[in-house]
Chain A
Amino acid sequence: MSIDIDTARKVAHLARIAVAEEDLPKLAGQLSGILTFMEQLNEVDVEGIEPMTSVTPMRLKRREDVVTDGGYQDKILKNAPDAREGFFAVPKVVE
């Protein structure tokens, strides 16, 4: 599978990473190289094999659905690049 420049542009956008137009050919080449490496997986007979979901045979832990944590808004906001009036501030989202 080889990745063309349009696909590289699309993947970069899906990943929310700005890539300059002139950097797309190199990126497409590198991504294609990595995907070619992965193609080896097609040699493996995986008929009837379940995809692994958990590496150790364990059931995920459960607990009562109750609030066990929280109540420290100031700590949550402490590292925010822009926090105002107890909220995270971002550019306008809705027109």
Chain B
Amino acid sequence: MSLNKLTIADARDALRKGDVTSVEITESCLAAIDGAGALNAYCAKTPEIALDQAKAADVRLKAGDAPAMCGIPLGIKDLFCTKGVASQAASNILKGFKPEYESTVTQNLWDAGAVMLGKLSMDEFAMGSSNETACYGPVVNPWKVDDRKLTPGGSSGGSAAAVAADLCLAATGTDTGGSIRQPAAFTGIVGIKPTYGRVSRWGVVAFASSLDQAGPMTKSVRDAAIMLEAMASVDAKDSTSADIPVPNFEAALTGDIRGKKIGIPREYRMDGMPAEIAKIWEDGSAMLREAGAEIVDISLPHTKYALPAYYVIAPAEASSNLARYDGVRYGHRAKLAAGDGIVEMYEKTRAEGFGPEVQRRIMIGTYVLSAGFYDAYYNRARKVRALIKRDFDIAFADGIDAILTPATPSSAFGLGEMKDADPVEMYLNDVFTVTVNLAGLPGVSVPAGLDSKGLPLGLQLIGRPWAEGDLLNHAYVLEKAVGFAAKPDKWW
């Protein structure tokens, strides 16, 4: 097997035994990246940094000082600030931006000995579900069943495509409304969004600060457990980072869920749900029952209102966060005409720098926060958010350990197919994932099989706050029962 196809867990064990070096795995990944231009997953390659880090990791491994991530080559979503390396959130407004600092998450990974292969494309400012809003052009899903090029999903589409195509051992992603879990489902990989506050947001370009969380995108549930532990930390630089110690998530993977109660929320059975989605959902719940869990029908009555609440709250926070892109401190500044003042500079810079979807969301956010509409939209959405969280609180108080739902309403669709669609139609991709961000809960997407076209579908498990270990254990049981082993045929 080529070394780029390794999981983190297998690579870790082989590295520690001395069967392989980090330099060898890293070179294998770099060669795979160079041969995968057609996927457009990497927006910046950092082979020199990668090889330097790999050599340093090999020294640590030899010395016996090797944390689990030591020597593991990773792709990093373009949303993470990486010192001296282009970090532009797939936006033209951050063209040329090279941070003078490192995000906490990536610093944690480098401290653990991980290796950076490069930066991964995404939807601009993480706003999108198809990777088509990236300023670098869309990422292409390595899964292909006919002439069409398919979306890898979004916003962490570059991360998903890179992991599925073995252009890294794993990648970082971020998730504001489903941006880790939806692309993971579209590409047949595992992705977890941890509890809000588990992973530091410091140095991650902000979209909607009350919803954003970073997490790992990996080839297996075990890898997700290993990498999440390395990413997570209590961070004084993020005031919303929780003062809760990071446990050993891998140790929670016992494979035993006997006596656990799995909730099946009836409100997720949407009208017009494709039969294939309904079937993998039923199959998944049967597998968990088979493993000894109790399956319980539950109600989360405010589910229907999660998407509209999200599309008030997220743009409102985005309009405030993105106000910093003004052409003064970093990134792009428009060429000005004679007599243009500072307002013209702002307006022209932002019109040139932001793509259409980002502009729309900033304007929606501006509108719902403006005088006269703040109560009608923004405050009402925050009240509905409180009700959505209460639905989950009640389910967990009733003894539910995890909730099983589909991850997405469909498998991957063709690039360009949603070009003429209403923006709201694209938002429907987040229908099963967005509730989890609004309630601050951990959620994981696990590959659950292939549809009749041969494309991956995912199931989502939602856990109690701060119980990522228990959640991953459920995911681990599901993963073993499904036995998903399909990989995309290499066409690129």
A residues contacting B by CB (< 8 A) are 3, 7-8, 11-19, 27, 30-31, 33-35, 37-44, 46, 49-56, 58, 60-61, 63, 72, 75-76, 78-82, 88, 90-93
- Does B382 lie at the interface of the complex (its beta carbon under 8 Å from any beta carbon of A)? yes
- Does B55 lie at the interface of the complex (its beta carbon under 8 Å from any beta carbon of A)? no
In the complex, chain B residues whose CB is within 8 Å of the CB of A44: 302, 305, 380, 383-384, 387
In the complex, chain A residues whose CB is within 8 Å of the CB of B243: 61
Assembled-state Cα–Cα distance A61/B465 (Å)? 19
Assembled-state Cα–Cα distance A43/B302 (Å)? 11
What does DSSP make chain A's interface, helix, strand, loop or mixed?
loop
Q: Are B363 and A15 in contact (CB under 8 A)?
A: yes
In the complex, chain B residues whose CB is within 8 Å of the CB of A55: 196, 210, 389, 438-440
From residue A54, how far is it (CB to closest CB) to chain B in Å? Answer: 8
In the complex, chain A residues whose CB is within 8 Å of the CB of B370: 11, 14
Known: A16-B343, A46-B380, A80-B330. A11 touches B363 (CB 8 A): yes
Q: Number of contact residues on B: which range applies?
A: 35 or more
Q: Are A91 and B345 in contact (CB under 8 A)?
A: yes
In the complex, chain A residues whose CB is within 8 Å of the CB of B359: 15, 17, 19
Q: Are A31 and B196 in contact (CB under 8 A)?
A: no
Task: Taking A12-B363, A30-B422, A55-B439 as given, write out 8 further A-B residue pairs in contact, using a Cβ cutoff of 8 Å, ordered by the A residue number.
Answer: A16-B326, A16-B343, A38-B381, A54-B210, A60-B239, A81-B332, A91-B336, A93-B341
- Does B14 lie at the interface of the complex (its beta carbon under 8 Å from any beta carbon of A)? no
- Does B362 lie at the interface of the complex (its beta carbon under 8 Å from any beta carbon of A)? yes
Assembled-state Cα–Cα distance A50/B380 (Å)? 9
Q: Are A41 and B342 in contact (CB under 8 A)?
A: no
Q: Are B384 and A41 in contact (CB under 8 A)?
A: yes
Q: Are A50 and B350 in contact (CB under 8 A)?
A: no
Cβ contact of B383, chosen from A14, A40, A52, A90, cutoff 8 A = A52
CB-based closest 10 A-B pairs: A55-B440, A51-B382, A79-B330, A81-B333, A18-B347, A46-B383, A18-B351, A75-B100, A16-B346, A15-B366
- 26 cross-chain CB contacts under 8 A: A8-B363, A11-B363, A15-B363, A17-B350, A18-B348, A34-B364, A34-B423, A34-B424, A37-B424, A38-B311, A40-B304, A41-B377, A44-B384, A51-B385, A52-B389, A55-B438, A55-B440, A56-B196, A60-B239, A60-B240, A79-B98, A81-B332, A81-B333, A88-B328, A91-B340, A91-B345
Assembled-state Cα–Cα distance A58/B302 (Å)? 24
Q: Are A41 and B312 in contact (CB under 8 A)?
A: yes
- Does B329 lie at the interface of the complex (its beta carbon under 8 Å from any beta carbon of A)? yes
Residue from A15, A27, A43, A79 whose CB has the most chain B CB atoms within 10 Å: A15
From residue B230, how far is it (CB to closest CB) to chain A in Å? Answer: 22
Known: A34-B364, A37-B424, A38-B308. A15 touches B440 (CB 8 A): no
Assembled-state Cα–Cα distance A12/B356 (Å)? 12
Q: Are B347 and A52 in contact (CB under 8 A)?
A: no
From residue B428, how far is it (CB to closest CB) to chain A in Å? Answer: 10
In the complex, chain A residues whose CB is within 8 Å of the CB of B413: none
In the complex, chain B residues whose CB is within 8 Å of the CB of A60: 239-240
In the complex, chain B residues whose CB is within 8 Å of the CB of A78: 98, 100
Cβ contact of A81, chosen from B327, B344, B379, cutoff 8 A = B327
Residue from A14, A18, A75 whose CB has the most chain B CB atoms within 10 Å: A18
In the complex, chain A residues whose CB is within 8 Å of the CB of B422: 30, 33
Assembled-state Cα–Cα distance A90/B210 (Å)? 32
Assembled-state Cα–Cα distance A27/B363 (Å)? 10
Residue of B whose beta carbon sits closest to that of A13: B347
